[in-house]
């Protein structure tokens, strides 16, 4: 499968490094686009990509590309996903897929109309540790799940990006979700503290502990029994923690597209919509509004 890379920033670097961990016959990168042509060529030379473009539209029109990885800032995800889909490219877009539910529905509807694959990159789900968690939950090893807690906190408040609410960022919150049958979730995110960054799933007969970083886990403890799932390689250099694990996500995207699946069974559109509905409601309760909330995509 032939990938195009949209945006030449930190996360795109990690995604390309992760693609190199996979079989070259299965995953080739044929083009990259950045807002600046010199930056695009610098990236292309570093990752041995044959074509580079100085605008994203040119990537959308590039015939050698089957699927585009969108690794740009959050506020551009919807516009660029629509641009790629409208030019008949499959899309893997970094998370969050869009800024709000209205945008996500537009992107999903466009992908459906064009009969193209679209995935918002919830990469955690593709890690082998999460496969293990799913099978433990399905086999009722924990009994009935009653409570989940997860926390994500890093002292990144000084990053300039976090002082621009228009880019879709927020400082901290604690979120309690209450489900049918007395089930609950307690979630926390914070930009001023170093949290434990772990997650725990509690059932009536036991618990699953997912140690730091729970979103890119290589270890999981099920009722005290610890299992390890090493990343494909430790040699390659990455900007973000455990992003060698992007390779799991990329491989799943390839399998889906080659099988003619338009959405990923591990993160179907219906679940993406549920998740975005919750995120919109969390923002409403916090009083965090984006300019695009009032604009039809
Ligand atoms: N899954 C993960 O673990 C993970 C980790 C980190 C980030 N992410 C996600 O990846 C995305 C990018 O994050 P990043 O850390 O790579 O960010 P970054 O390096 O700051 O920016 C990514 C790219 O955004 C593009 N961009 C487009 N319009 C822009 C504008 N108006 N201002 C600034 N940049 C603009 C730039 O592309 P050009 O090269 O074209 O200039 C830049 O290279 C975000 O959505 C983030 O949530 C995911």
pLDDT tens digit sequence for 16-65: 999 999 999 999 999 999 999 999 999 999 999 999 999 999 999 999 99
Measuring from atom 43 of ligand 1, which residue has the nearest CA? 9
The answer to whether the CB of 199 falls within 8 A of the CB of 148 is yes
pLDDT for the residue numbered 156: 86
Closest CA to 254 of 28, 6, 14: 28
Ligand 1 centroid–CA 273 distance in Å is 23
* CATH 3.40.50.300 for the 128-228 domain, yes or no: no
Paired with 195 in beta bridges are: none
Could you give the CA distance from residue 279 to residue 185 in angstroms, rounded to a whole number?
14
Question: Which stretches in the chain have pLDDT values below 70?
Answer: 165-166, 168, 234
Could you read off the pLDDT of 77-87 as tens digits, one per residue? 999 999 999 99
Ligand 1 centroid–CA 93 distance in Å is 11
Closest CA to 70 of 112, 105, 18, 34: 34
Ligand 1 and 76: CB distance under 6 A: yes
pTM here is: 0.97
Ligand 1 and 240: CB distance under 6 A: yes
Ligand 1 centroid–CA 75 distance in Å is 10
**Dmax over Cα atoms in the chain, in whole Å?**
58
Closest atom of ligand 1 to 33 CA is: 40
* CATH 3.40.50.720 for the 2-122+248-268 domain, yes or no: yes
Six-digit token string for 295: 């604009």
Enclosing H/E stretch for 137? helix 128-138
Residue ranges covered by each domain of the chain? 2-122+248-268, 128-228
């Amino acid at each position: 499968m032939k990938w195009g890379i949209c945006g030449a920033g930190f996360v795109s670097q990690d995604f390309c490094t992760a693609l190199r961990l996979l079989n070259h016959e299965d995953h080739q990168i044929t083009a990259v686009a950045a807002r600046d042509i010199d930056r695009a060529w610098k990236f292309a030379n570093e990752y041995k990509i044959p074509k580079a473009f100085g605008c994203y539209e040119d990537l959308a029109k590039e015939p050698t590309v089957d699927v585009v990885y969108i690794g740009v800032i959050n506020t551009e995800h919807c516009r660029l996903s629509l641009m790629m889909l409208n030019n008949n490219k499959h899309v893997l877009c970094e998370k969050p897929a869009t800024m709000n539910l209205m945008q996500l529905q537009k992107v999903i509807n466009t992908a459906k109309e064009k009969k193209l694959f679209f995935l918002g990159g919830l990469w955690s789900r593709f890690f082998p540790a999460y496969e293990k968690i799913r099978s433990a939950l399905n086999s009722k090893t924990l009994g009935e799940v009653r409570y989940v807690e997860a926390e994500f906190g890093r002292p990144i408040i000084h990053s300039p990006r976090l002082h621009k609410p228009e880019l879709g960022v927020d400082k901290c919150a604690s979120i309690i979700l209450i489900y049918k049958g007395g089930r609950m979730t307690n979630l926390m995110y914070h930009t001023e503290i170093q949290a434990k960054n772990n997650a725990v799933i509690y059932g009536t007969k036991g618990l699953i502990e997912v140690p730091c970083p729970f979103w890119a886990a290589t270890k999981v403890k099920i009722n005290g029994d610890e299992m390890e799932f090493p990343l494909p390689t430790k040699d390659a250099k990455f900007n973000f923690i455990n992003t060698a694990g992007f390779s799991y996500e990329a491989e799943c995207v390839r399998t889906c597209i080659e099988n003619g699946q338009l959405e990923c069974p591990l993160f179907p559109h219906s679940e993406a919509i549920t998740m975005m509905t919750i995120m919109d409601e969390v923002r409403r309760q916090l009083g965090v509004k984006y300019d695009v909330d009032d604009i039809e995509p």
